[in-house]
Amino acid sequence: MIAFTVIGGYLGAGKTTLLNHFLTQSSGRRFGVLINDFGAINIDAELIASRGETTITLTNGCICCSLADGFLNAVDQLLALETPPEHIVVEASGVAEVNQLAQYGHLPGLFLDGVLVVVDVETLLEKVNDRYVGQTVRRQINSADLVILNKVDLIDPSVLKACFEWLKQAHPKVRVVSSVRCELPLPVLAGQPMHERRSEFLFPEHAHYTSWNHVLNDPVTREQLEFFAEGLDATVIRAKGTSGGPSGSGLQLQVVGRRVQITSMNNVGLGTRLVAIGLAGQIDTRSLDALAAQSFGGAR
Amino acid sequence: MITIFRARTIITMNPSNPCGTHVAVRDGMILGVGTYDEVKGWGEHVIDETFSDYVIVPGFVEGHAHVMAGGMLQRPYVGFFDRPLPDGQMARGIKSYAALITRLREIDAALTDSDEQLIAEGFDPIYFPDQPRLNRHHLDQVSTTRPIFIHHANGHLATANTAMLKLNNITKDLQIEGLARDAAGEIDGELREPPAMSLCRSAFREIQRSNMTELAIQNFAALARNAGITTCTDLGGISILAPNALERWRALTIDESFPLRVAQYNLPAMPGATADFESIAKEFVKLKKSGSERLRFLGVKFVLDGSIQGFTALLNQPGYFSGEDHGQLLAVPDQLVDWMLPFHRAGLSIHMHCNGNRTQDLAIETIEALLKIAPHPDHRHTITHAQLTTQAQLRKMAKLGLCANFFTNHLWYWGDQHYEITVGPERANALEPCASALREGVSFSFHSDAGVTPLGPLHTMWCAVNRVTPKGRVLGPLERITPAQALKAATIDAAYQLHLDHEVGSLEAGKQADFAVLHDDPLAVEPMVIRDIKVWGTVLGGRVFKAA
Ligand SMILES: [Zn+2]
């Protein structure tokens, strides 16, 4: 299964900056990035391994592919590669219906890792009321698993507060993180690959984000995982987990914002491991402990 | 060698010489129109009597069609309305599910390869409001073994039978939103929007591919010829996006037996997407220079929104009459001037797809901004569809020199739905406001948007003249125009929009000998039968092409 991420957001919000983070800080993961305009993406010449008519291959194994010939053709082109990417990231156009693009993440062979919508904090309140794009921008935000409120360094704190308040009021269920130049750690932006080993559960140290970990010796049920995921509050940006029995088969949990996916998978180690990522100072590890106890009461 | 064609009547659309009985042609060029005495003096000639019982009008100019019109008819047609086929036969409209199943059974029985998928075109659920949605169980009555895919007329929906779903491993655990389900949560076979439709990869690919084939282009040209069209746009061509399609176009149109002048307006990028428009415009200019007699590259097409009946057109207040507003702009308004400026500066004409009037406001504002940056007195940029054009917009368009290309066929094909469902009575009556455009001085033409509706200028004219709906309404009688005004829009004014009015669109000395040959005079018959006039065929650059 190949992970699939949609990056949406209106013009100038910072989508391309975000894409560059995927490409240049891929931490060894091979991202396939689908973009409309090669010209707009600013890749260091040293990073470019080769350039084809519709693709650019990077030295770190990532690949950019043009959307000029349509979305499905671009995806199929990536899937047909000798070594297809592990994770496909598509940059939606500024006025795209991101929810529709996100549906491609449910094609067989792919799984939807998340819809990230970047918002320029300086223009948000103006754009959501714009007569031409207001509806579109609202729909984009409403479809987001995670809204990235970008350029917060450029703004008066009162405006930032007003943005948060508007978002909370207009889209109460949407998870929001703020950023400067979309600088967010990869584990916030992308779920971990399926073939996860225990060591990769460790969340890198980061000034603004922190993680909560939980380990049980026994497997848990799908219902228990669902209960746990539904109980996560808005301070949790992402959560993931695996749970396996003695046979090696088990379950995987992926949570990004409101999106909860529980899938069956093989080769899961015995026991249950969970991690949640949230904003430092906001995520409440004690209530997460309590939620875990409540969810998995019987298991140890 | 001079040929003098004799006709019952020749209508020239040349105001200073409006009619005649004879037209003299040398090397594909008109020498003159008038009486025999007036044209015989050009020299030694033969008289061609083929059309002596027929009426000659200027070859029709279709300002908005797509090669898809020919592509889709490589497959069986199962739409609600009759549809002319390239071979001259008529595919009869399907008025009930029972008739649909019967038709599909016939097609199934005629297929020899038992594995071959059956893809049919043109079904539209909007005409079956009292029926449950078409689902796989209906189609399973046709076959439980042959994969069947019904591609709906709006292009956004499809219905598959159980065998087709199985073939593509489409199971109920797939989470794609567009996978319609019954009350029990089982997949019912309706696939909404491209992500879900693309699950049936075999059918979806076939449909995509079929618009790029040689047969698609030949069908397209045959349909145009059968309808009396001699110059036809392919508005939204992909010659820039898919250069291999371009080679096919060139190879076919170089042949003198190709019965059509094609005016291609290409897409510069996928709708809504940013691109390096500066360098793309340069490619357009190069392409324009490479045009030939039967293949021209005149300008660029920008698709700016969706459709009214799909509720994806962006409307001004008070919005949609009923149904949920999914209005969607396919352009970044803050960038639109930058997107279009390179084309405008290069002297290319810009055609903007606007179905909603809010979108049209944006198009008008954008052109106004372009003209302030780079004056272009004779741009003839065009708003195409322009269905909900308001009076204020017409006044502004007249000032800016913008043309309108009205989708008059909507008055017939969706007129009742617009009245009852999408925009309500007042705005349905004001759809395609031809009379107002005349009054305000906005140059306009009509279109079929084929394959959305069939190629047929006599039909688009008939709609503009009568404004009648299938349920018998007359939508906005004050917006009706006369047959002569309609013929002007379908010929010389359409040519004007394409910057081709010095070459085609009227029958004048020095212009192309492009005729539509009709069994009757559209200006003399009862207005209600204009669409029933039979087309004998066309003459293109002096060559005779009989309709199939
Ligand atoms: Zn069209």
Mean pLDDT of chain A: 87
- C-alpha B222/C-alpha B454 separation (Å) is 12
Q: Distance from the CA of B442 to the center of ligand 1, in angstroms?
A: 21
Binary contact (B329, A132; C-beta < 8 A): yes
CA distances to B329, B434, B469, B474, B475 from B480, in Å: 30, 7, 13, 9, 9
> Quick check: A195 pLDDT over 60?
no
What confidence score (pLDDT) does residue A199 get?
40
Q: Which residue of A has its CA nearest to B178?
A: A103
Average pLDDT over residues A200-228: 82
What confidence score (pLDDT) does residue B208 get?
86
> Quick check: B341 pLDDT over 90?
yes
Domains and CATH numbers, chain A: 2-186 (3.40.50.300), 194-296 (3.30.1220.10)
Average pLDDT over residues B441-445: 98
Is some CB atom of chain B closer than 8 A to the CB atom of A37?
A: yes
Q: Which residues on B lie below 8 Å from A91 (Cβ)?
A: none
Out of B241, B328, B332, name the one closest to residue A94 (CB): B332
Query: Is residue A146 within 8 Å of residue A177, measured between CB atoms?
Result: yes
pLDDT tier, A264 (very low <50, low <70, confident <90, very high otherwise): confident
Is some CB atom of chain B closer than 8 A to the CB atom of A69?
A: yes
CATH 1.10.3720.10 fits B2-53, yes or no: no
What confidence score (pLDDT) does residue A174 get?
85
Is some CB atom of chain A closer than 8 A to the CB atom of B241?
A: yes
> Quick check: A234 pLDDT over 60?
yes
Out of B269, B270, B334, name the one closest to residue A11 (CB): B334
- C-alpha B230/C-alpha B293 separation (Å) is 12
Q: Which residue of B has its CA nearest to A140?
A: B328
Q: How far is A176 from chain B (nearest CA, A)?
A: 24
Binary contact (A93, B272; C-beta < 8 A): yes
Mutation target among B270, B282, B335, B337 for the A interface, most CBs of A within 10 A: B270
Average pLDDT over residues B265-270: 93
In 3D, which of B502, B531, B532 has the Cα closest to residue B514?
A: B502
> Quick check: B357 pLDDT over 70?
yes
Query: Is residue B59 within 8 Å of residue B515, measured between CB atoms?
Result: yes
Does this complex have an ipTM over 0.95? no
Average pLDDT over residues A22-40: 84
Q: Which residue of A has its CA nearest to B316?
A: A131
Is some CB atom of chain B closer than 8 A to the CB atom of A13?
A: no
Q: Distance from the CA of B180 to the center of ligand 1, in angstroms?
A: 27
- C-alpha B325/C-alpha A182 separation (Å) is 32
Element containing residue B381 per DSSP (H, E) = none
Binary contact (A104, B195; C-beta < 8 A): yes
Q: Which residues on B lie below 8 Å from A68 (Cβ)?
A: 241, 269-270, 273, 275
pLDDT digits 0-9 by tens, A36-61? 877 777 777 788 888 888 888 888 88
| Residue B494, token pair as written in the block | 């359409």
Q: Which residues on B lie below 8 Å from A11 (Cβ)?
A: 332, 334-335
H-assigned helices in B211-276: 214-226, 243-253
Q: Which residues on B lie below 8 Å from A131 (Cβ)?
A: 358
Q: How far is A277 from chain B (nearest CA, A)?
A: 25
> Quick check: B296 pLDDT over 50?
yes
Q: Which residues on B lie below 8 Å from A133 (Cβ)?
A: 329, 332-333
Binary contact (B175, A136; C-beta < 8 A): no
% of chain B exceeding 70 in pLDDT: 100
Binary contact (B329, A136; C-beta < 8 A): yes
pLDDT tier, B438 (very low <50, low <70, confident <90, very high otherwise): very high
> Quick check: A300 pLDDT over 60?
no
Binary contact (A107, B176; C-beta < 8 A): yes
DSSP assigned state of B35:
-
pTM for the structure as a whole: 0.92
% of chain B exceeding 90 in pLDDT: 93
Out of A68, A69, A107, name the one closest to residue B199 (CB): A107
CATH 3.40.640.10 fits B73-208, yes or no: no
Q: Distance from the CA of B429 to the center of ligand 1, in angstroms?
A: 22
DSSP assigned state of B127:
G
pLDDT digits 0-9 by tens, A238-248? 888 888 888 87
Q: Which residues on A lie below 8 Å from B208 (Cβ)?
A: 70
Q: Distance from the CA of B353 to the center of ligand 1, in angstroms?
A: 7
Query: Is residue A232 within 8 Å of residue A239, measured between CB atoms?
Result: yes
pLDDT digits 0-9 by tens, B116-127? 999 999 999 999
Is some CB atom of chain B closer than 8 A to the CB atom of A107?
A: yes
Q: Which residues on B lie below 8 Å from A143 (Cβ)?
A: none
B227 Cβ contact partners less than 8 Å away, ≥ 6 residues apart: B60, B84, B454, B455, B456, B457, B458, B535
| Residue B261, token pair as written in the block | 């002048």
pLDDT tier, B147 (very low <50, low <70, confident <90, very high otherwise): very high
What confidence score (pLDDT) does residue A294 get?
93
Q: Which residues surround ligand 1, an ion (CB under 5 A)?
A: B 449
Is some CB atom of chain B closer than 8 A to the CB atom of A97?
A: yes
Chains A, B: CB contacts within 8 A come to 89
H-assigned helices in B290-390: 333-345, 357-373
What confidence score (pLDDT) does residue A23 get?
84
B483-490 and B457-466 are packed helices; what angle lies between their axes, rounded to 10 degrees? 140
- C-alpha A225/C-alpha A231 separation (Å) is 10
% of chain A exceeding 90 in pLDDT: 38
Is some CB atom of chain B closer than 8 A to the CB atom of A136?
A: yes
Domain ranges of chain B: 2-53, 73-208
Binary contact (A100, B195; C-beta < 8 A): yes
Q: How many CA atoms lie within 13 A of B436 on its CB side?
A: 23
Q: Is the dihedral of CA B45, B48, B51, B52 positive or negative?
A: positive
Mutation target among A65, A71, A95 for the B interface, most CBs of B within 10 A: A95
Binary contact (B333, A112; C-beta < 8 A): no
Q: How far is A281 from chain B (nearest CA, A)?
A: 35
Most confident option among B166-175, B195-204, B442-451: B442-451
